[in-house]
Amino acid sequence: MELAHIITERVAGVTATAKAALHEPLFEGNELTYVKDCIESGWVSSVGQYVDRFERDLAQYTGCARAVLVNNGTSGLQIALELVGVGHDDEVLVPALSFVATANAVRHCGAWPHFVDSEYATMGMCGPSLLAYLDEIAELRGESCINKRTGRRIAAIVPMHTFGHPVDMPAIMAVADRFRIPVVEDAAESLGSTLDGRHTGNFGRCAVLSFNGNKIVTTGGGGAIMTNDIDLATRAKHLTTTAKLPHRWAFYHDEVGYNFRMPNLNAALGCAQLERLESFIARKRQLTLRYQAAFDGVAGVRLFVERPQTRANYWLQTLTLDSDAAGQRDAILAATNDAHQMTRPVWELLSTLPMYRTCQSMETPVARDLSQRIINLPSSPQLVQGTR
């Protein structure tokens, strides 16, 4: 039996449904109650009790000192980069294997993405490879790290926790400390994930979450900037709320700010979703066990599972094909989607996209290899019932 047919059959057996989406939101808690309360109160825009509450709840859950809600993860990442000093014509080190928003946020700052290779263990940025690369192309001039090939300042490192699996942050932080480069974690996919008991987003200067409709917790659209630096959080709040100085009636703005606020309606949804997060993760962990059992003994494929000392939120279940089966990827994608079991490949390497082909990049053999072998499987928490 060909591999595409085997995988399609096994996925359908796990989902036990005639049609399975890649990742659907699940509303089974207080969502309707909180949104109804928000509507009845009249506070539906960017000011209201649920904005304040969701920020407090996120900070408490993740262990970060402060959370600042924004309208989406891309906006949050742009502001986070500005907060750590990224400016026009700087360079920012980002993984070549990431969603396009990671690079787009850099360009929104007027800076340039500089692409970094991945590692097989995490699917994320590779610390040792980055260290060797910077030893070759970078030098410290005072407090700045300069790319000797371009003359530009390397102003930030942005590791991304792929599909909810934590990057090796100690290795990344060691590189960052050596070259005096601030770290902004792209934690868009990793709410609920931990490394050595520490929630993602607590390692760099700040981090960004996403609450898009397909994320493990959704507000329909939205995101948050997380930080343990109170001054940084205060400035984030100021910049994302049009840089307006507080006053009972006057409209005075002291710098060019952004209208990146999350409405109270969306925050109300987020408060209810966050209450259910541990249930969602428990279901996803059960789903992982089911996929592991389904693919046990199937030659040519392997389910990606969390590393020791980490807890992954398993946002998207990830199948990796063996190298000699990589040529069958598209046939597998076609067969599963034809059977209404939604699968997808990983993103195209950012360094190959037309707007980024001329950007600086280290050699990325691991990222290129992974990009040809990854398949995401149906991952909705409702595929597992009864875990509360």
CA atoms within a 13 Å half-sphere pointing along the CA-CB vector of 53: 18
Local structure of 195: helix, strand or coil:
strand
- pLDDT for position 1: 60
- Listed in order, the ranges of the chain carrying CATH 3.40.640.10 are 31-275
- The strand pairing partners of 70, in sequence order, are 223
**pLDDT tens column, 244-261:** 999 999 999 999 999 999
Token pair of 147, please?
Answer: 């790319």
Residues of the chain with CATH 3.90.1150.10: 3-26+277-383
CA distance 258 to 241: 6
Buried b / exposed e along 135-148 (16+ C-beta atoms within 10 A): eeebeeeeeebbbe
Quote the distance between the C-alpha of residue 271 and its chain's center.
19
pLDDT in tens, 125-181: 999 999 999 999 999 999 999 999 999 999 999 999 999 999 999 999 999 999 999
Across-strand partners of 184? 206
Task: Classify burial at 255, counting beta carbons within 10 Å of its beta carbon; exposed 0-12, middle 13-18, buried 19 or more.
Answer: exposed
- The torsion angles phi and psi of 256, rounded to 5 degrees, stand at -75, 115
Q: What is the pLDDT of residue 66?
A: 98
Model confidence over 350-383: pLDDT tens digits?
999 999 999 999 999 999 999 999 999 999 999 9
79-96 pLDDT tens trace: 999 999 999 999 999 999
Q: Is the pTM of this model over 0.75?
A: yes
Would you say 34 and 269 are in contact if contact means Cβ atoms under 8 Å apart? yes
pLDDT at 43: 84
The superfamily (CATH) of domain 3-26+277-383 is: Aspartate Aminotransferase, domain 1 (3.90.1150.10)
What's the CA gap between 164 and 93, in Å, rounded? 20
- Cβ neighbours for 356, distance < 8 A, ≥ 6 positions apart: 103, 113, 115, 350
CATH number 3.60.21.10 given to 31-275: no
